Amino acid sequence: MEKVSGAFDFSTISFTNSNWAILIIIVELLLLTINAVMYRRNLVLSIQSLYSKRSFSQVSKEGKFFSEGTFIFSLPFILLTWSLSLLQLGSHYFPNMFVTLNFIQFFGLIAGFIAAFLLLKMLLNVFLFEFFDCSEKRYDFHVLNFSFLLNCSLALMLGQMVVQNTNFYPFYYFILLIFIGLYILKIYKSFILKSKRVNLFQIFMYFCTLEILPCLVILKLLYLFGNQGVLAFN
């Protein structure tokens, strides 16, 4: 760092990819800490809703979860954890993806994609519940889906910290096992929540549209980008 014309020139300082990753993890921890301190009850309930019938009932009866502070802090936490994990995995298993973008640019691209994906999924959710004439169950399903995302994000944050400090990428296989367990539990809870007016074929269509198809699209994009080398770090 040099002092030029009375001002410090920071252009010679290299902020490496590792520094960016650590900074993002710190922001995640900060968001989680603020959430736990200011909205501890709601945060605990939102995490436990996937496992506990009592916690789910409390959140469902209050009916205002998505307008409270815990949601405001949880949403960017989810966005950051999923984005950083995908970036870590992409840079390791698909090194040919990185050609023209630096770390923060690629992170922003992933975060924008995830945000758009979640928004599109929410809109499709609203449409399908109206189409199946069971809009009264929409809020409960949103609570369940959000609890699933939040629990997955906590697992991802653990994976990020382990990989960042040890470079042991196979640890993500353990996180994948947690994901599978959480997803099975989510499907089971969703089936219990379904309206009596919804038949098995409609449930099948719902999961194909909002659960299975998006995963297949993401895997296809990773495969195409990984083989063609569309993106990469400088």
**Could you read off the pLDDT of 72-126 as tens digits, one per residue?**
899 999 999 999 998 888 878 776 665 666 778 888 888 988 888 888 877 777 7
* Burial of 72: CB neighbours in 10 Å, binned 0-12, 13-18, 19+: middle
Cα separation, 145 vs 164, in Å, equals 28
* Strand spans (E) along the chain: 2-4, 7-9
The pLDDT value recorded for residue 216 is: 67
In this structure, what is the dihedral angle of CA atoms 183, 190, 216, 122, given to the nearest 10 degrees? -120
- Torsion of the alpha carbons at 131, 132, 133 and 137, rounded to the nearest 10: -110
Question: What is the spatial distance between Cα 41 and Cα 53, in angstroms, rounded to a whole number?
Answer: 16
**Tens-digit pLDDT string for the chain (234 aa):** 444 444 444 343 345 667 888 999 999 999 999 999 998 888 898 899 888 888 888 887 776 777 678 888 999 999 999 999 988 888 787 766 656 667 788 888 889 888 888 888 777 777 766 666 566 667 788 888 899 999 999 999 999 999 988 889 999 999 999 999 998 898 888 777 665 555 555 566 666 666 666 666 666 666 665 555 444 333
Task: Pull the structure tokens for residue 76.
Answer: 């960017």
Check the CA dihedral 184-185-189-190 and report its sign.
Answer: negative
d(CA 226, CA 214): 18
